[in-house]
Structure 1
């Protein structure tokens, strides 16, 4: 069970770039969660996936030298879902289908991957923590940065360009 969670239903075994595959796998699942329970359901999913991710990562890495194996992508899933929160709440507030905000989906994906890969600032600090918390926390921070970026881009688009 921990391997299924940690690899997000084996998406972490896809090559190359398992983190990118994990982020991509998170997108349709976020859409389903939003469709069923709305944006607050996505918030709850982030919290649950984080908690399950810490637990599954601890079990999967116990006694191993590598504290952050590439096949563990539940951290990317949580970060990607956080990055999508402005899109989810934007669609909810406007009363429109979440898929209508497809540019936000693309921005959330690209910005999250950018912050996750570059490990800029606090993302890099969290990555160096080692252990399950470090594995999960760097992607949470990358997701928050990406969410801020999505919000800024949306504001620029809606306030300046329209």
Structure 2
């Protein structure tokens, strides 16, 4: 149970208030930066997949026999979703030899869009949030992360293509 709690709360970050989900998303940023610096996009992608799988397991352990299937202290789902949103920065930086810190506007966009989609829960994000069990807990944030990543790509295309920045 202790390992599951450490994973699900991302070392206790989930106990920070107010807004533990926002704290989880915030801690994901420097962790993603470190992963990218250590191993580029492949390491961030692997870590995202591992966080998702371990998150499903840890959430299942923490919520077994509980009425609340998605307690606020579980923030591994925010970390996985935020990391997925950052793939839109990590991959091009890694593939083209760009310092990921040079893409700082994208970091802000990825964070803001992920929080927006995670809180607003449009369409498939809301559907996934209503699914019972640990897969549902993780899936809504994974989908929100995909939406945020697509948003980052669209904003970059607009900024660099239309605005010519």
Give the TM-score taking structure 2 as reference length.
0.96
The correspondence for 1:95, drawn from 77, 94, 97, is 97
Q: Are 2:44 and 1:42 equivalent residues in the alignment?
A: yes
- Per the TM alignment, residue 97 of structure 1 is displaced from its structure 2 partner at its CA by 1.1
Q: Which residue of 1 aligns with 2:80?
A: 78
Q: Which residue of 1 aligns with 2:10?
A: 8
| 1:147-158 matches, cutoff 5 A | 147-158=149-160
The unaligned stretches of length 5 or more in structure 2 are none
**Aligned structure 1 segments of 4 or more residues deviating by more than 4 angstroms:** none
The correspondence for 2:123, drawn from 121, 124, 135, is 121
RMSD (CA atoms): 0.7
**How many residue pairs end up in the alignment?**
162
Distance 1:51 1:94 in 2: 29
- Per the TM alignment, residue 160 of structure 1 is displaced from its structure 2 partner at its CA by 1.4
- In the TM superposition, what whole-angstrom CA distance separates every residue of 1:12-71 from its partner, at most 9, and x where no partner exists? 010000000000000000000000010011111111000000000000000111000000
The correspondence for 1:130, drawn from 109, 129, 132, is 132
Distance 2:16 2:26 in 1: 11
Q: Which residue of 1 aligns with 2:162?
A: 160
Q: Are 2:59 and 1:52 equivalent residues in the alignment?
A: no
- Per the TM alignment, residue 72 of structure 1 is displaced from its structure 2 partner at its CA by 0.0
Give the TM-score taking structure 1 as reference length.
0.98
The unaligned stretches of length 5 or more in structure 1 are none
The correspondence for 1:111, drawn from 104, 110, 113, is 113
Distance 2:35 2:46 in 1: 10
Distance 1:42 1:135 in 2: 21
Q: Are 2:25 and 1:18 equivalent residues in the alignment?
A: no
- Per the TM alignment, residue 94 of structure 1 is displaced from its structure 2 partner at its CA by 2.9
Distance 1:13 1:130 in 2: 22
